């Protein structure tokens, strides 16, 4: 079965998905939509994309299009989701759904009413290591879990102009960790407590955000999770997980750029982790799109639903409230 798709948004993540999709045997990329398509014509032709447009409705109104891939700015997501639902298109949407719970709830309702498939772009679920931890815990091989620790650090902060429109650290960065915590623990969060500050770049505080945070989550089964975020990690993209249970501990370390360990009289050295998420999760991005394609072809449930996106967003909003009040927030 061949699916015809259109990609909305040709920025960094949109181009990544197109590069992964353009050689897929079950995919025909007919459309790409972006406000700056004319600057990308050489690349668009190289990718074999038939049509380009500045208006994403050209894609949604095309009866040949089976699915849309939403990689546009967050504030456009809900309107696109609603329009796609009205035309019966399946949807892949990058996180978050929107910047407000009200708008995201409207999108969830539209998807449920239309009966289309929508998969959220929480690519870390599709990392082979984290997926193996999920399966290990699902099989209760660690017994009852007491604690989960997630370390997530970016190599450097984004520009202030980006931060101003990102929704803040919890919505833009930590939301991946909130989804990962729910994915691994396989139950819901009942309380959050967040502390944070602008310690890397004090100017981030002037736009109402932070760059460093420590977040505590409590789950309905009583287990606890500590998430440590920072916008700067000079040694590379730092992504680690540790779970402690009755029968022991399971952990995932960083994937270094190679497996070399060089030992000398002076020191023992290894290469740094990959620089950023595009390198670290290269295979996971391919695997998440493969899962979306197969869910459509085989008429199966997606592995990361819009409801998962809403739940992660609810945690992000609660963390912001906790940061502002200095108090835990119960669900």
Q: What is the pLDDT of residues 160-183, one digit of tens each?
A: 999 999 999 999 999 999 999 999
Q: Are 69 and 15 in contact (CB under 8 A)?
A: no
Percent of the chain with pLDDT over 90: 89
pTM of the model: 0.94
Q: What is the mean pLDDT of residues 119-145?
A: 97
CA pair distance 181, 212, nearest whole angstrom: 18
pLDDT of residue 331 exceeding 90? no
Cβ–Cβ under 8 Å, residues 56 and 37:
no
Return the SS3 of 124: helix
Q: Tens of pLDDT along 203-223?
A: 999 999 999 999 999 999 999
Instruction: At 311, give phi and psi (nearest 5°).
Output: -65, -45
> Where would I find the H helices in 115-159?
128-138
- For the record, the structure tokens of 132 come out as 């193996």
Write the pLDDT tens digit of every residue in 277-304. 878 899 999 999 999 999 999 999 999 9
Q: What are phi and psi of 146, to 5 degrees?
A: -95, -40
Is the pLDDT score of 264 beyond 90? no
CB 243 within 8 A of CB 184: yes
Domains annotated on the chain, with CATH: 3-116 (3.40.50.720), 125-284+311-330 (3.30.360.10)
DSSP assignment of 25-85: TTEEEEEEE-TTGGGGHHHHHHTT--EEES-THHHHT-TT--EEEE-S-GGGHHHHHHHHH
**Rounded CA separation 26/3 (Å):** 6
Q: How far apart are CA 331 and CA 324, in angstroms?
A: 17
């Amino acid at each position: 079965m061949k699916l015809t798709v259109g990609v909305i948004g040709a920025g960094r993540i949109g181009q990544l998905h197109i590069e992964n999709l353009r050689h897929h045997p079950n995919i025909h990329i007919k459309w790409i939509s972006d406000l700056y398509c004319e600057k990308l014509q050489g690349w668009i032709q190289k990718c074999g994309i038939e049509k380009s447009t500045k208006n994403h409705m050209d894609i949604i109104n095309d009866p040949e299009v089976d699915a849309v891939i939403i990689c546009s700015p967050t504030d456009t997501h809900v309107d696109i989701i609603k329009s796609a639902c009205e035309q019966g298109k399946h949807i892949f949407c990058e996180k978050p759904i929107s910047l407000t719970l009200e708008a995201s709830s409207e999108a969830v309702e539209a998807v449920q009413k239309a009966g289309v498939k929508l998969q959220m772009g929480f690519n870390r679920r599709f990392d082979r290591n984290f997926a193996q931890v999920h399966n290990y815990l699902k099989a209760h091989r660690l017994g009852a879990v007491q604690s989960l620790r997630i370390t997530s650090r970016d190599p450097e902060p984004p520009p202030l102009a980006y931060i101003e429109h990102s929704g803040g650290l919890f919505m833009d960065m930590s939301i991946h960790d909130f989804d990962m915590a729910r994915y691994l623990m396989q139950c819901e969060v009942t309380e959050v407590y967040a502390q944070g500050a602008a310690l890397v770049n004090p100017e981030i505080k002037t736009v109402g955000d932070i760059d460093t945070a420590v977040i505590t989550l409590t789950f309905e089964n009583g287990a606890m999770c500590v998430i440590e975020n920072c916008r700067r990690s000079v040694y590379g993209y730092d992504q680690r997980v540790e779970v402690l249970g009755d029968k022991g501990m399971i952990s995932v370390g960083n994937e270094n750029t190679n497996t070399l360990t060089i030992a000398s009289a002076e020191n023992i050295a290894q290469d740094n982790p990959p620089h950023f998420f595009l390198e670290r999760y290269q295979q996971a991005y391919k695997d998440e799109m493969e899962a979306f394609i197969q869910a459509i072809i085989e008429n199966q449930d997606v592995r990361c639903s819009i409801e998962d996106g809403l739940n992660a967003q609810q945690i992000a909003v609660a963390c912001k409230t906790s940061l502002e009040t200095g108090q835990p927030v119960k669900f």
